[in-house]
Amino acid sequence: MDQIARTPQQIGAAVRRRRKQMALSQQELGARIRLRQATISRLEAGEPGTRLQTLLDALAALGLEIVIRPRTKAASDDIEDIF
d(CA 48, CA 54): 12
Q: What is the pLDDT of residue 6?
A: 92
Tell me the domains of the chain and their CATH numbers: 8-66 (1.10.260.40)
**CB of 66 closer than 8 Å to CB of 5:** no
Q: What is the mean pLDDT of each run of 10 residues along the chain (83 residues)?
A: 89 97 98 97 96 97 95 67 55
Q: What is the pLDDT of residue 23?
A: 98
